[in-house]
């Protein structure tokens, strides 16, 4: 997949992706999230730091995430965890996205056999 188009789809689903990952792993930091996404999609989807950090901060502002900072190797590392509200949001968002993908799949897959459908109506 071309990177540009991938980004376009990612932009809409980024929140869902982040929330979902945190729901699975519990406690993560920024770079870890990008690495996880890269590994699990085999490099198909690459989260750029430019897109990821604003979204993380936004979610934190909304009260979906909690943060804690730890000193690691002479630098501060910020860990994110879901709040109860965030967990709730993660569930609904994931469900929504699945339904949406299902719909898209239906939309993109070739129609079963339009001729027969029409034939039965005629017959």
Partner 1 sequence: MKRLTDDRITDFKNYLRESGLGEALLPELLDHLACEAEERLWEGQSLEKVIENLRSEIDPDTLKQLSSDHKDLLAMEDSLNDIVFENRNKLYGAYALRREYSGHVQRATFIGVGIFILLFCLPELYARLNPEPQKDDIVFEVEFSPITIKPEERHLPPPPVEAPPPAPVKTVRDLPPLVLPDEQVLVEHLPPTVEMLENALPGQETVDGTEITEFLVPPTEVTGKGDVVEIKPEPEKEYTYAEQQPEFYGGSEAFGKFLQKNLNYPATAARAGVQGKVFIEFTVGTDGRIERARTIKGIGFGCDEEALRVVNLMPNWKPGKQSGVPVRVRYTLPIAFQLE
List interacting residues with partner 1 (CB under 8 A): 12, 29-31, 34-35, 49-50, 53-55, 57-58, 61, 69, 72-78
CA 118 to chain centroid, in Å, comes to 39
- CB 46, CB 37: distance < 8 Å: yes
Distance of closest approach, residue 76 Cβ to partner 1, in angstroms:
4
- Greatest Cα pair distance, the chain, in angstroms, is 78
Distance of closest approach, residue 8 Cβ to partner 1, in angstroms:
9
Of residues 20 and 78, the one with the C-beta less far from partner 1: 78
Return the ∠ at Cα 60 (arms to 57 and 65), rounded to 5°: 130
Of 59, 95, 96, the closest CA to residue 78 belongs to 59
Distance of closest approach, residue 86 Cβ to partner 1, in angstroms:
17
Of residues 75 and 105, the one with the C-beta less far from partner 1: 75
């Amino acid at each position: 997949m071309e990177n540009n188009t991938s980004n376009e789809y990612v932009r809409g689903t980024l929140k869902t992706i982040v929330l979902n990952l945190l729901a699975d792993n519990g406690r993560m930091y920024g770079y870890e999230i990008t690495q996880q996404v890269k590994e699990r999609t085999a490099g198909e989807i690459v989260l750029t730091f430019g897109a990821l950090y604003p979204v993380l901060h936004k979610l934190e502002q909304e009260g979906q995430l909690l943060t804690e900072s730890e000193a690691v190797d002479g630098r501060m590392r910020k860990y994110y965890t879901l709040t109860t509200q965030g967990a709730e949001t993660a569930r609904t968002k994931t469900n929504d996205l699945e339904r949406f993908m299902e719909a898209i799949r239906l939309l993109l897959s070739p129609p079963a056999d339009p001729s027969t459908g029409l034939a039965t109506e005629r017959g």
